[in-house]
Structure 1
Amino acid sequence: MTIVLPERKGAPMSKQSLPERERVARRASLAAAAGTAIEYYDYALYGYLAVVLARLFFPSHDGLVGLLSTLGVVASGSLVRPLGGLFFGRLGDRRGRKVVLMVTVTLMGTATTLTGLLPTYAAVGLLAPILLTVLRLVQGFSAGGEVGGAASLSTESAPARRRGLFGSATSIGVSLGLAGAAATVGTLTDVTSAEQLNSWGWRVPFLIAGPLLAVALLYRMRVEDSPLFVEMVKEAAPPKAPVTEVLQAHRAAVLRVMGIAYSTMTTGGIASVYIVVHLSAVLKYPLAGALWLVVLIALMPLAIIPWAGSLSDRFGRRRILAAGMGGFLILAVPCFWMMQQGSLALAVVATLILNIPFGIQQGVVYTMYSELFPTRVRYTGISLGFNVGGIIGTGVVSLVSTSLVAVTDLTIAPAFYIIFAAVVGLIIIGTMRESSSHDPAAESRANEAATVVTKSAQ
């Protein structure tokens, strides 16, 4: 059952004037966006610097072995994200959103900064890749708790009729973080020689995480905790076992989040991440400035995300998310056909067009996740469904896309995987009720039911 975020009589938010509620929502959204941007900046650096890190931490006569080892470290961070989601989700539903988001961004920023200070294999031998792996695991653990908390804080702090707009802040943070990481590495690559990059230049993007961490902490320290969470704690004790409660009372919602996360991360992952590999490795375009194309791709949806979030407040989450899925159905094959016409300029235009539906999806999806769970277990529910679905989506997207090209010998084959994932998303949307409508009684009923289920389980 779809659960919406209520504004009941007597709740703290209902006592505030509209301008004050808008200010609370803006502060929460800025804090969510800033922290998420820094988390994703830190998290993306490994991928952008994989070739350099392979030489420094996994030296091998076969360069491919070193690169695969580095990518294995990257993957290890993704695999622990569900564990981090469960751990921080439980804390967030028991202790509040703000304090846990302070911890996640601190862990991420500290691990990233320490990475920039690591000795290389030439200095300490096997200890170097071990330390690199440990810090990457800390990053992945931290990242697992970020999105669920940021989405919960921004949507729970927003007025009911503008949740879509303010909830889109999480997606804005993700885009800014990915673009910032690519731009930093791209600039460094342009202004340093290969020797300088290998000796000290690679450390700079990681060390920048230190001052960025200070900015994120400053923003998040100034933000009140979620008004809905504060109200919930006043009315009843926080859940003792939110993970158990989610799995017993909200399995359908978790599965829907997993499915939508898979769909959006697969369609968006092909359009924004795999596509650079496709243009260079499959279509053989000379992408000397590939990282700057990544920056362009990451920034392009920024104008669309808040617009789509605002539209979802007027027309509903299901319609706008379905429009994004439908956009991929319509554009996937034509855009991949345009890319293979031999013109790099035309290929870049097709890539940017393909990211329009991705921006539409991102404008609404995190708000929808939030609205599928009641306040008492929202952090846990989002974190569990999003991280598991994300692994399924992002973990195999490039492998499946590349394999389809190899097996079919068709360079437009990844378009068919986009269509498949979009159809999966549309099917799931078809099983859901609209979550944006105002239903003050829904959460009370859900909390009562969850309490009964929890007590019976005990």
Structure 2
Amino acid sequence: MPTQPLTDRNRMARRASLAAAVGTAIEYYDFAIYGYLAVVLAPLFFAGQEGLVGLLGTLGVVASGFLARPLGGLFFGWMGDRRGRKVVLMATVTCMGAATTLTGLLPTYSSIGVAAPILLTILRIAQGFSAGGEIGGAASLSTESAPSRRRGLFGSATSVGISLGMAAAAATVGTLSAFTTSAQMSSWGWRVPFLIAAPLLVAAALYRMRVEDSPLFLKMVEEAAPPKAPVAEVVRSHKAGVARVVGIAYSTMTTGGIVSVYLLVHLSAVLKYPLTGALWLIVLIMLMPLALIPLSGSLSDRFGRRRVLACAMVAFVVLAVPCFLLMQQDSLALAVVAALILNIPFSVQQGVVYTQYSELFPTRVRYTGVSLGFNIGGVIGSGIVSLVATWLVAATGASIAPAFYIVFAAIVGLVVVGTMRETSRHDLEQATDSAAPAMAGEVEE
């Protein structure tokens, strides 16, 4: 395949990045809705369980969705490395949209008893299965379509999509809670955000149909047959890369999960701030990264992925405890300030991680490698972060307890980053998970 002119490559990169961002935004809108409605859904699907006990049951369903993600990652990763990125990204957004729409049609516990939480869990597992294939494909498509010296910038589109989707989910729930009574929200209002998934599904599918597949994947197919067993190849030859993705994903998804999705539970259920105010704070902290994420990706193109990631993780270690102390001063304004400060390092790391994941694997198994590592990290990171944080508060009686979990997760991330070598100047077609960290002067200019 002849080398494309830079202008054509930039145009393709923009289309691919937009497709990744749009689809990921809709997937994460669908996936985040449940978390933002956890306080409302608890009494509807776990009747008889009061307070934090009922909330823990609802958050357990959140965790079940994350447990299904590695399976989805394996299935869609295998398909994506054999059939291409585009066709699989169409499948993931369709599966997610259907499961989310059906969730909005579910009867509650008062209507069908224990079958209600069972059906809710099944649909949440279907959402998790779909989400398991989304990130690996979106990250692969956006980075493989980008010029080599701008991979960080274009690769950050996946994170932009995540922030947009989660902000849209919080804004939808916040608007409903502002214009409905508690009784209306419990009766029918909670269904609306789920049902919105149907038209969003159509929009995402139509846009992704218009995007070309990854040029690196197409080149690979021209030169050699796709791998017959990409999962086996990843496990056999790229264990170090998978382990690093697991470690970074655990660290970034735990720290980010606490300062975003869990924060709604913390502010409303633990610190007793009004739900509507807490929801609009989540909207704000999800929109704030939209400027910082591309900047962070661009900085990583210049200074390297390791340095930018390490700076964000150090910031979490330093800021977590003071910011959680600030949140519990009985002032929503101070809570807003603390949450925004904590979301600066969250935004910085989000601008880097998905490009970093992609650079650890060669084109032939990139989708599988990223999906496998990211989703295993997600299970032990975001999958249980709200459960762990809520349990820590309940077990210790200290509302500051989740801050120490942030510090722990950030230190884990720093250790993993310390074992890696710089990848920002590597040829993406031959990306490697080489173990040794870069020696002094080894990072390319």
TM-score, with length taken from structure 1: 0.88
Q: 2:89 & 2:352 partners in 1: Cα distance?
A: 21
Structure 2, unmatched stretches of 5+, are: 435-445
> Is 2:359 aligned against 1:354?
no
Structure 1, unpaired ranges of 5+: 1-10, 447-458
What displacement does 1:352 show? 0.3
Equivalent positions of 1:182-261 (< 5 A) are 182-261=170-249
Q: 1:176 to 1:60 in 2, by over 3 A?
A: same
For the pair 1:311 / 2:299, whether they are aligned, the reply is yes
Which residue identity does 1:160 align to in structure 2?
A: S
Residue 141 (1) aligns with residue 132 (2): no
Give CA-to-partner distance per residue, 1:94-123, whole Å, 9 cap, x none.
100000000000010111112223344454
Per-residue CA deviation, residues 123-142 of structure 1 (Å, 9 max, x unaligned), is 45554444333222211110
Instruction: Give the CA deviation at 1:410.
Output: 5.3
Q: CA deviation at 1:214?
A: 1.1
- The higher radius of gyration belongs to 1
Aligned to 1:6: none
Equivalent-residue separation in structure 1 for 2:50 and 2:258 (angstroms): 29
Residue identity in the other structure for 2:294: P
Q: How does 1:74-93 map to 2 (within 5 A)?
A: 74-93=62-81
Distance 2:394 2:111 in 1: 41
1:91-130 alignment, distance < 5 Å: 91-130=79-118
Specify the code of the residue in structure 1 equivalent to 2:153: L
Indicate conservation of the 8 Å contact 2:35/2:261, yes or no. Answer: no
- 3-state SS of paired residue (2:259): helix
* Cα deviation code 1:339-373 (max 9, x no counterpart): 34443312211210111011000000000000000
Could you say what the CA RMSD is over the residues aligned between the two structures, in angstroms?
2.4
What's the counterpart of residue 35 of structure 2?
Answer: 47
- Asked whether the 8 Å contact 2:362–2:429 carries over to 1, the reply is no
8 Å contact from structure 2 (residues 178, 276) kept in 1: no
Alpha-carbon deviations, 1:27-62, whole Å to 9, x = none?
111111111111111111122223443444444375
CA–CA separation in structure 2 for the residues paired with 1:332 and 1:163: 30
* Separation (CA, whole Å) in 2 of partners of 1:396 and 1:241: 30
- Could you tell me which residue of structure 2 aligns to residue 452 of structure 1? none
Residue identity opposite 1:414 in structure 2: P
Change (3 A) 1:205 1:407: closer
C-alpha displacement of 1:190: 1.5
Counterpart for residue 364 of structure 2: 376
CA offset at residue 397 of structure 1?
A: 2.7
Letter in 2 for 1:199: S
Q: CA deviation at 1:272?
A: 1.9
Q: Which of the residues 406, 416, 426 maps onto 1:418? A: 406
Q: Quick one: which amino acid aligns to residue 332 of structure 1?
A: A
Aligned-pair identity in percent equals: 75
CA distance 1:155–1:373, shift in 2 (3 Å) = same
Per mean C-alpha deviation after superposition, the further-off stretch among 343-352 and 195-204 is 195-204
Equivalent residues, number: 434
Q: 1: distance between equivalents of 2:428 and 2:112?
A: 60
Cα pair distance change 1:268/1:133, threshold 3 Å: closer
Q: Choose which of 320, 324, 338 in structure 1 pairs with 2:312.
A: 324
Q: Secondary structure at the match of 1:304?
A: helix
2:373 aligned residue: 385
Picking from 134, 144, 166, the partner of 1:178 is 166
CA-to-aligned-CA distance 1:288-347 (integer Å, 9 cap, x gap): 522111111211211100000011111111111111112212322332333344433122
Structure 1 CA distance, aligned partners of 2:331 and 2:119? Answer: 44
**Structure-2 separation of matches of 1:276 and 1:215:** 29
2:288 is paired with a residue of what secondary structure? helix
What's 1:454 paired with?
none
Q: Distance in 2 between matches of 1:54 and 1:211?
A: 27
Specify whether residues 295 and 433 from structure 1 end up closer, same or farther in structure 2 by C-alpha distance, changes over 3 A only.
same
Moved more, 363-372 or 335-344: 335-344
CA distance in 2, matches of 1:422, 1:179: 24
Instruction: Report the counterpart of residue 149 of structure 2 in structure 1.
Output: 161
Distance 1:76 1:228 in 2: 35
Q: Distance in 1 between matches of 2:120 and 2:325?
A: 41
Give the residue type in structure 2 aligned to 1:236: A
Contact 2:362–2:428 (Cα < 8 Å) also in 1 = no
Deviates more, 1:391-400 or 1:100-109: 391-400
Could you tell me which residue of structure 2 aligns to residue 455 of structure 1? Answer: none
